[in-house]
Structure 1
Amino acid sequence: MTAVRIGIIIGSTRPGRVGDQVARWVLEHASARTDAEFELVDLADFALPHLDEAVPPSLGQYANDHTKAWAEKVDSFDGYIFVTPEYNHSTSGALKNALDFVYAEWNDKAAGLVSYGAAGGTRAAEHLRLILGELQVADVRQQVSFSLMTDFEHYTSFTPPAYHQGMLATQLDQLVPWASALKSVRDARTTLATAA
């Protein structure tokens, strides 16, 4: 059986962000597993403008090269770990915009949430769960939350206590089987569409 592919999406493009440190920590610990492949995906590398597709993403008729590149990257994964900051009780505008750009490429996949902020980013994660539901992404229960007060030095250097590793391990134990199971759902859907 082929290992599932999980994209670790850095949900902030802000200068001086700390999300890249958190995402690298996730990658470091996740990469020890043999049942999945993990890849960092930095939204900053895609330089997506504000949603500029004339046709609704649910129709899959992407006109712009940046949208096509983003759709191809999103489609290449069986699941995701979203590393999200909390901005004003929600996820970042950059991540919301990236989610809105494409549709079918997200469908029937699994996701885990890793959040950070003054209150651990929990409100951003809860808002993100609502968005993912509309995109037909199944989010697992276990969340990993980091406080800017206790898990960072001077709010900038990521220094998480070791107990967070156990929370991430639990999240991955939930995420990888869901991503694998939903791959079967996508394969069955493709078979049905081909037969029709």
Structure 2
Amino acid sequence: MDRPLRLEVIVASPRPERFAAVVADWFLAAVAQRPEFAVGVLDLRELALPVELTEAPEVDEFRARIGDADAFVAVTSEYNHGYPASLKTALDSAKREWRAKPIGFVSYGGLSGGLRAVEQLRQVVAELHMVSVRESVSFAQAKRRFDATGATDDRAAIDASARMIDQLAWWGRTLRAARAADPYPG
């Protein structure tokens, strides 16, 4: 159990002119400082999972990555008080692969900072038997929170990301050991 935790960062927005890359790159830089994680990126704009939830080679590859992961972070925008359809498709494209694994959220948007999307996602991931970590990161009026280099001085977000990463590490280690000792029922 000394190997790093496999963390998959899911970039949810598929829009061509999205702000997601700025937020995701900021988070990826923060988690790169943590040696307990080996980090991968699942960019849903690039994956193009079938919305019909049909079998396809890209779905098999996606499920394999989800199955190999120990923890997740969804970087999500908020569209019309909800999360992107691409993220719902991704969550629905796998089933058992998500179970007994932690997930954290980095959200961004207008005045709510994506928090309404995160609250909806917490219900969905609970149904998938995932553990939603308590701490989340939120950027209200996100485009105003980052400078031209992609850096932010938003102390609340910086502090929240450190706490969320700590929680993901704890849950990731704990659940990986539990899955190895006694496979999750269901």
Q: Give yes or no for TM over 0.5.
A: yes
Q: Does 1:188 align with 2:178?
A: no
How far apart are the structure 1 equivalents of 2:58 and 2:3? 29
How far off is 1:9 after superposition?
0.7
Q: Which amino acid aligns with 1:10?
A: V
Percent of residue pairs identical: 33
Q: 1:107 aligns with which of 84, 87, 99?
A: 99
> Could you tell which deviates more after superposition, 157-166 or 94-103?
157-166
Partner of 1:83: 75
Q: Does 1:126 align with 2:119?
A: yes
**Structure 2, unaligned stretches of length 5 or more?**
none
Q: Does 1:64 align with 2:65?
A: no
How far apart are the structure 2 equivalents of 1:191 and 1:33? 27
Q: Does 1:151 align with 2:152?
A: no
RMSD value over aligned CA atoms? 2.1
Q: Is the contact between residue 9 and residue 82 of structure 1 (CA under 8 Å) also seen in structure 2?
A: yes
Q: Deviations over 1:95-145 (max 9, x none)?
A: 011100110110000011100010200000000100000011101111100
How far apart are the structure 2 equivalents of 1:81 and 1:113? 5
Q: 1:135 aligns with which of 124, 128, 134?
A: 128
TM-score normalised by the chain length of structure 2: 0.90
Partner of 1:161: 153
Question: What is the DSSP-based 3-state SS (H/G/I as helix, E as strand, rest coil) of the residue aligned with 1:187?
Answer: helix
Q: Does 1:95 align with 2:96?
A: no
How far off is 1:191 after superposition?
9.7
Q: Is the contact between residue 7 and residue 77 of structure 1 (CA under 8 Å) also seen in structure 2?
A: yes
Q: Is the contact between residue 18 and residue 157 of structure 1 (CA under 8 Å) also seen in structure 2?
A: no
How far off is 1:173 after superposition?
0.8
Q: Deviations over 1:41-87 (max 9, x none)?
A: 2112211121333xxxxxxxxx4212101101211210001101101
Question: What is the DSSP-based 3-state SS (H/G/I as helix, E as strand, rest coil) of the residue aligned with 1:14?
Answer: coil
How far apart are the structure 2 equivalents of 1:189 and 1:36? 23
Greater share of strand residues, 1 or 2?
1
How far apart are the structure 1 equivalents of 2:38 and 2:154? 23
**Structure 1, unaligned stretches of length 5 or more?**
54-62
Judged with a 3 Å threshold, the aligned counterparts in structure 2 of structure 1 residues 165 and 182 are, in CA distance, closer, same or farther, namely same
How far apart are the structure 1 equivalents of 2:166 and 2:53? 37
